[in-house]
Amino acid sequence: MSFPPPTPNDLPAHTLSLVIPMYNEIDNVRPLLERVHAVLADYPQPWELVLVDDGSSDGTPEAIRVEAGLFGPHVRLVELARNFKQTAAMQAGIDAARGDVIATLDGDLQNDPVDIPRMVGRLLREDLDLVAGWRKDRKDGLWLRKIPSRIANRLIARLTGVHLRDYGCSLKVFRGSALKKLRLYGEMHRFIPAWLSTVTQPRRIAQEVVVHHPRLHGVSKYGISRTFRVLLDLVFVYFFMRFRSRPGHFFGGIGIALGALGALILSYLLAVKLLFDESVGTRPLLFVGFFLMIASVQMITSGVLAEVLSRVLFESGGTRAYFLRDEVSLAPEHGWHRPAAAETA
């Protein structure tokens, strides 16, 4: 099989961290390390490999220790106390990474590290914050993997405004300063591009076609059940992206809509009663109207409480409602325009 040629050795100065979460991938440890070192043997900049064991039960961490001793201290093991799932493992690797550029990929050898130098080159030359992999020729099952993934990708892109063709590809290259502004929870690893758009501009996110291999060793950790988890996570992502600093608008908007519908129903019934002297006490529509009004009050109240919690978060927790691309610290005596008399004194 032929691979795309690596990028020329004219990259801007940087350090590179590869973060690879692994769970019960003992048969892939040595082939993975051999492939990474074969691709990056002549990489012109310093790099490290951070392998995160997510509570494996098949001897994966022991195999990593053995191989790390053979390859050198740039291969590091981050061992989690138990299986915390992929998002937590990825966050642990990101926390441990020291590079200016951070690349993430799966440990099942379906992602190929041969694409990393080219993606890093594009990230740095085009001044991007993320280059996401696109498995254009994906080597997975059609009905259980490809079709649900395509539907999810289109839905995520439509709701988040970050238009990528392959959200599920773990092979991504980030600018470290941007990625470390995020905290990943739950199963949010598949939404990292959407999360990143909350701290940077979508135009600084790009995608690149990457090589994809069929799995040769081990068992896939994904199934059709993750589709339902994706839908639930997407609701939270949409809320967080659009209403993180103004949750009252989200709950209040729903409350006002429900209240307006309930008021319209009750007004109609009142008109029927007054104008036509018809009985409305046993009509189901009356109960619907009352329940809508009660739901409206509850949603608006929830919005008020959410606004209070949001203010507590931003004002007392030290959290800001914005992010800076590059923070520059000045000494107290620098950066002031002083009167000419004071300068010559």
In this prediction the pTM is 0.76
pLDDT at 28 over 90: yes
**What's the order of all strands across the beta sheet hosting 130-134?**
75-79, 47-53, 16-22, 101-104, 172-175, 130-134, 205-209
Q: Label residue 5 by pLDDT band (50, 70, 90).
A: very low
Q: Specify the CATH architecture of the domain 16-243.
A: Alpha-Beta Complex (3.90)
Is the alpha carbon torsion for 194, 196, 199, 204 positive or negative?
Answer: negative
Q: Label residue 327 by pLDDT band (50, 70, 90).
A: low
Q: Label residue 24 by pLDDT band (50, 70, 90).
A: very high
**pLDDT tens, position by position, 129-181:** 999 999 888 776 666 566 777 777 787 778 777 888 888 889 999 999 999 99
Q: What is the pLDDT of residue 66?
A: 96
CA neighbor of 185 nearest in space, from 246, 220, 233: 233
Q: How many Å apart are CA 220 and CA 20, to the nearest integer? A: 16
Average pLDDT for the chain: 84
**DSSP symbols for 104-115:** E--SSSSB-GGG
CA neighbor of 52 nearest in space, from 86, 103, 7, 9: 86
Write out the two tokens for 6.
């690596």
**pLDDT tens, position by position, 219-248:** 665 555 566 677 777 777 888 777 877 888
Q: How many Å apart are CA 143 and CA 205, to the nearest integer? A: 29
Q: What is the pLDDT of residue 2?
A: 44
